[in-house]
Chain A
């Protein structure tokens, strides 16, 4: 056995969400790290173009099995769990409803863990979570947000179904660790960007009202390029001595919201945007939230203090724990990462 890894290259690795934005890169990197027995789970409705491109260039000795299934089905989970040594669980639910987010995140994860514990030879379960689980409401602007930061305790008030799903998912994983001896690692990536994802992160601003409102200002963005993030996911599944640990994933070099928006504009062309300072954003979000509460949700609480803080308050971020304990280093530097991200947009004629 490679002393650096907890499994052999021939052991089976399961990747859920394998056709997704990060999942495809994870499969690519597993192959690059020499793993030859990979099972990819994809939703039946997934677009598999990018995954198929990776599979076309498969090394001759590699076996990559693509299994179509739905994690909300225990039977489908049973089918993919057989013989799995390491599970890299990336599948995520982006449902706007709380029940839907819960079902596709927490319930799906419960089904997968049950099946893996029953049928797998599980050595480690890597649960890919998100920065969305943190609450910085009680933190000062610019304070360091690391793995010890408080978790959101009122996702419903934040009107954030995704955060709710991810929080419940993490809670279940920890419970399975305590009660059923599941060896797990939790990864919380920041803002993952790269070719294949064109949307600007909500941390920069919103275009809800027909024009772009820039709210991020000079805040540091917790960016991680998709290749770098995928590498962290793979290493979290392989490196010994990190069970039951939580790691934030952000790159070494970061940009501010204004810098990112400026680079984006230079590539795609100018568009109308209004910059809103944070104190005004807080005031408007408070007003919105109060009206929503007073009217029993006549206006849904889409803007509120918790969301305002989470997205636009501004914090500093660190990857120290990931670097020290996992030995991860971002393989793509910021300059190259931004160039590859922007290359997916047609250049504006000058």
Chain B
């Protein structure tokens, strides 16, 4: 190697004034550098050039204080944004409405969003705006928590295992007698979720309905936008970080929210988580990274570079069987990110979940950031959310199967994801085996029965799926 280098170096003309020895030394050094650049550097330079410099490099991204904002925090703290030439400021937002409005009006360039938000905005339920997502942020990560009083009442209806602990998953059927008792006393049974089009709303509704409890219909055509028409359990909106305080105040008897706000209820001794969303729908898609369609059109390189940085952050979070999660917890507990105590965040992030105080169970996939293709924006995931919007009346009339497919493809930009991932593979920053086989991937997951009620979901047949639900609107029905 060194002799090759020297002969390589000897081809260069020598300088005039420097002493021969010093000159040789300097030249050898320069050539080593040049050789290294030739061997390894060009690949990097060329792959980076594939995308080109970001059109907009000063960005403000919004997030809600939840552990699943982790890819953003990690991409910032580990310098992945800076590696892409992006100068990103992360800013906590008050609630999901503020997040969405911020992105629409351009106060934020992009944000941590609920999977349902870009979809609902695109079809015009709530605020109408074209929002796209090139990156799905995580799987799972939510749970349903009830107050201590409700838990005591529910507990009588639960089977206990050999270890004396309740058998999981807990069906909402155990909650049904409690709700009926409240109704008999003329008391409404209030529960909270975080946003009308949040994954939590659909998961909570799915769980309640699977247990025989009606969560109520939306009927925007007739002014019913609270989603409480013919409801047995009245659901309302509360921002995630305020969930524990609202439960403590007695305004609600339970809620569905992301972490750390379920574990905090346990930690504060004010409530008991009863079921995780992974048990309601195994490996369900949770948050997405959303930007406006206009942003992606105007700043294509910036969008791809953001996606690249986020993919790398997600890889870091799941690398070596969650080995980095302890460090992630430390970062997330900083007041400017999630800000809760490290021991509260640690539980779910490192794969344990505490239900009733002392009832700690191992839930290794409570938060999935990268494995199982968690970050790939599957069209079938978008279609599932659309089916639930139809099921609960947020979509007022029947739509053909083709509409579901078209809408999903408009919002979930798997093409952008594939481009970003391929450039990472080309640079050697990721392996092709980490991703779906892009050449053959249809964007639809195979049909699955991994729901709490075992009903099969096939993304290609949304209308048939909607009709297979015992509670909820079916073809031709209006709320």
A and B pair up: no
